[in-house]
Amino acid sequence: MTDTIVLNVGGMTCEGCSNRVKDTLESIDGVNSAEVSHVSGIASIEHQNVSKEILTFSVKGIGYTVDGEGEDFDWRDGGVWKQSAHNTKWCLVGCSIGDFGTIVAFQFVPYLISLEWNAMMIMALAMFNGIMTSIALETFILSAQMALRDAFRVAIGMSLISMISMEAAMNLVDFVLTGGAKLTWWVILPMLIAGFLTPWPYNYWRLKKYGISCH
């Protein structure tokens, strides 16, 4: 006899997420099929004698929530560390484009140099531009999987805490090492390392506890 169970799954932000949940559910013995939507957050599973507890445990095990509850939190999940590092890396790429570009512009464009902005003003603009380019890059990447409007909606839902802490770390390292808002070849690597490491634990926590990535 075939039955249907409906789960409210949280943390899905794109088609890739819904496909991951679908594949996980359909890999369970006794599950005939699963229809999963990241838009509605609903997973409808047709099965034969599979308990809701098993289905729920499997979904939680890949980092998503069911009925608002996630897997018990710990800091020892290598898979989540790897995935959160991947997410943080792409966020860093996007942020660096706007951040570095702004600092370089104020170093070499005569008109901008003539404005005589102080380091704090340049860094504030660099942080803002970094967040904007990160959202733009994420929108471009996701547009291959979904409509442009949906891609933009997901992109602006990225963690501001992650991006702001990343931007703050990079600009603080720049200021400490160069004494201002300056970009030289030897300061780029320390800035990138600080920008990656600062939000990474937070991104792990957010992904592990709530199934939500930083981008």
DSSP 3-state of 103: helix
The tens place of each residue's pLDDT in the chain, 215 residues long, gives 788 999 999 878 778 888 889 999 999 999 999 999 988 999 999 999 899 999 998 888 787 888 877 666 789 888 789 888 988 998 999 999 999 999 999 999 999 999 999 999 999 999 999 999 998 988 887 777 778 887 787 777 667 888 999 999 999 999 999 999 999 999 999 999 999 999 999 988 887 776 666 55
Residue with tokens 């005939």: 32
CB atoms within 10 A of CB 83: 18
Share of the chain above pLDDT 70, in %: 95
What one-character DSSP code corresponds to residue 69?
B
> Which amino acid, one-letter code, is at 42?
I
Mean pLDDT, rounded, of the chain? 88
Q: Which domains does the chain have, with CATH numbers?
A: 3-66 (3.30.70.100), 78-210 (no CATH)
CB 93 within 8 A of CB 137: yes
Strand-pairing partners, residue 3, are 47
